[in-house]
Chain A
Amino acid sequence: MLKITNLHAQIENEDGEAKAILKGIDLEVPAGEVHAIMGPNGAGKSTLSYVLTGREGYEVTKGQIVFNGEDVSEAEPEVRAAKGFFLSFQYPVEIPGVPVLTFLKESLNAQLRARGEDEISAPNFMKLARENAAKLGISNDMLKRPVNVGFSGGEKKRLEIFQALMLSPKFLILDETDSGLDIDAMKVVAEGVNALRAPDRGMLVITHYQRLLDHLTPDVVHILADGRIVKSGGPELARELEADGYDKYVGRAA
């Protein structure tokens, strides 16, 4: 489903200086699988999520991102979104003045139009929103408020998963969706994510903690250090990291 080969990427800062962050990533996530990415702070995990979703300023200098047989490494963010990429942001952004439901209805319809499908009717959209909100314990009041404005850290993360449920993407990237969640919220979010597991859907779960992975049981765990994948293994790898830390991998990458 997603195949990344020898991916190099650099970030351009405001002064126009380029800084290489991803230094040759090879990663394949077949449909139906959940892969976890762990790694020390600053390793390039969020950078990878932005490169995959086409953020401006994150330039692919070498390598390929192939999604369902198609190289998408040059596509605009909205084009990739319509193809099914969804990023649950590590730091969700506030959209002043735009209510959650308005935003999602416009977004969903934009995606449907881009795929040449019919737009969703207002009643069907509302029904879908109510169902998904109930699954995640999101109040009606929250849906009417501007996106993320004044939301607590945990509420923002919950709203990211709500958006994923609403947009029903083909490929999810969760960037530290578990950070800032209390124990109960973690369970609710994990259930939401698990509900999205499907044979035709892939997931990349970036996390620092074992807890979310306990709920999700990933198929593969990768360790990303200094812009490279330095080790891949089964779920036991996450447990090993929990106990021993990244020391030996950071050493190897350097």
Chain B
Amino acid sequence: MTKLMTATPLEMALLKDLPRQDPVRQRLLDHGMPHRRVEEWKYSDLRRLSGPVESQGKISVKSARTLMSVPVAQKHSPSFMAALALSLGDEGLAFAVAAEAQETLSLELSATAGRAHKVLRFELGKGAKLTLHEIYRAHAGAFANILIQIVLGEGAELIRVIEQDDAPDALLVVTSDIELSPKARLHQTTLGAGAKLARLETHVTHQGEGAEADINGAYLIAAERHLDQTTFVRHCGPHGVTREIFKGAARAHGKGVFQGKILVEQGAQKTDAQMQHRAMLLDERAEIDVKPELEIYADDVACAHGNAMGHLDEDVLFYMRQRGLSEAEARTLLTESFLLDPLERIPDEALRTRLLGQLQTRLRGQS
């Protein structure tokens, strides 16, 4: 936003929410909300998509376990939305897993209509294990901005499963900041459906040596919805492994975005990083935008990315219908089998079964 541009109603409201001396306020004044001329938001114009959000909303976190309430640490973040959450997040919630301990945590994060920000922090001690299940439910009229900070200690292991299925007129931005100590293992899987705009932005940093990250996702975008999955993986230590497998499908008037960046710093020799995105347009009026990026400063690495886009094959559909399946059933079966892969890789059996079931329900519920 140039100074000449008028602030949108949401920007005006946020400017009022932010304390005068807060540097985030100045950033908002100077640049506005993220919009399509900002490279990282090229395909997801948050500024344009967000209408007026008059009231203050609330993000409640439901869990069988108790989360600790902690003050939000005021720290600078290069990501505007993360910085905004740090400035305006009402209270921070934290959960720590002690060294060598093993925990399971299931969270339901629901956002009511209105502006709301939240910061959650998870810490895994050395050799700790956590299975973390997050369900996002942003309701009609919500503008929910959530920052998740996760630190994995040496050799710690996190299985993270995210379900996103928000109201068609909700805005949701979840920025995850994940730091991997040496030999830490992350296995993240998302199942996304979109919202007016839902952005799941994941930053993973391989701080130490020999960490491993699986970052997978399946998405099925319904009509009039927009889902943006952006991943940014930074390899700082040597012998790190990253695997990304994303599979998606979009229906008529649905929009999907996949942006994946892998940055390999000079010291990150023997990095092994692969990123794959495959998507299917279920209708001519669906849109999927993809931007894979590799930026490599080390000379002894194995990095690759692949992307493929397709349609359901008419010959295959006829063959299936000849055997008795209706066109809708045939499409559902093909789409389902196309999307399964990332979900079948979930290491936790209960969560794997749950998400495969979710996919089935979503496919059959909205055709």
Please measure, in the bound complex, the distance between the C-alpha atom of A76 and the C-alpha atom of B319, giving whole angstroms: 13
Determine the chain A residues whose CB is within 8 A of the CB of B353 once the complex forms: none
Query: Is B40 in contact with chain A by the CB < 8 A criterion?
Result: no
Q: Which residues of B contact A (CB under 8 A)?
A: 313-316, 318-327, 329, 333-334, 337-338, 340
Determine the chain B residues whose CB is within 8 A of the CB of A95 once the complex forms: 316, 319-320, 334
With A78-B324, A97-B334, A97-B340 in contact, is A106–B319 under 8 Å at CB?
no
Contact with B along A55-96 (1 / 0, CB 8 A): 110000000000000000000111001100111010011111
B276 to chain A, nearest CB (A): 15
Give the residue of B315, B325, B334 whose beta carbon is less than 8 angstroms from that of A107: B325
13 contacts between A and B (CB under 8 A): A53-B322, A55-B322, A76-B326, A77-B318, A77-B322, A78-B327, A81-B321, A87-B322, A93-B316, A96-B338, A110-B325, A110-B326, A114-B324
Give the residue of B315, B324, B333 whose beta carbon is less than 8 angstroms from that of A167: B324
Determine the chain A residues whose CB is within 8 A of the CB of B315 once the complex forms: 93
Apart from the given pairs A107-B320, A114-B324, A167-B323, 10 other A-B contacts in the complex at a CB distance below 8 Å: A55-B318, A76-B327, A77-B322, A78-B325, A92-B319, A94-B316, A95-B334, A98-B333, A110-B329, A146-B337
A57 to chain B, nearest CB (A): 8
With A55-B318, A56-B314, A106-B329 in contact, is A96–B337 under 8 Å at CB?
yes
A198 to chain B, nearest CB (A): 19
Please measure, in the bound complex, the distance between the C-alpha atom of A89 and the C-alpha atom of B319, giving whole angstroms: 8
Determine the chain A residues whose CB is within 8 A of the CB of B323 once the complex forms: 81, 86, 103-104, 107, 163, 167
Query: Is A225 in contact with chain B by the CB < 8 A criterion?
Result: no
Number of chain A interface residues as a range: 20 to 34
Please measure, in the bound complex, the distance between the C-alpha atom of A94 and the C-alpha atom of B313, giving whole angstroms: 10
Determine the chain A residues whose CB is within 8 A of the CB of B338 once the complex forms: 96-97
The answer on a CB contact under 8 Å between A93 and B337 is no
Q: Which residue of B lies closest to A92 (CB)?
A: B319
A209 to chain B, nearest CB (A): 24
Please measure, in the bound complex, the distance between the C-alpha atom of A104 and the C-alpha atom of B333, giving whole angstroms: 12
Q: Kindly identify, within residues 94 to 122 of chain A, every residue whose CB is under 8 Å from any CB belonging to chain B.
A: 94-98, 102-104, 106-108, 110-111, 114
Please measure, in the bound complex, the distance between the C-alpha atom of A147 and the C-alpha atom of B97, giving whole angstroms: 46
Determine the chain B residues whose CB is within 8 A of the CB of A102 once the complex forms: 333
B175 to chain A, nearest CB (A): 33
B356 to chain A, nearest CB (A): 13
Determine the chain A residues whose CB is within 8 A of the CB of B322 once the complex forms: 53, 55, 77-78, 81, 85-87, 89
Determine the chain B residues whose CB is within 8 A of the CB of A82 once the complex forms: 324
Determine the chain A residues whose CB is within 8 A of the CB of B337 once the complex forms: 96-98, 146
Interface centre among A56, A78, A94 (most CB of B within 10 A): A78
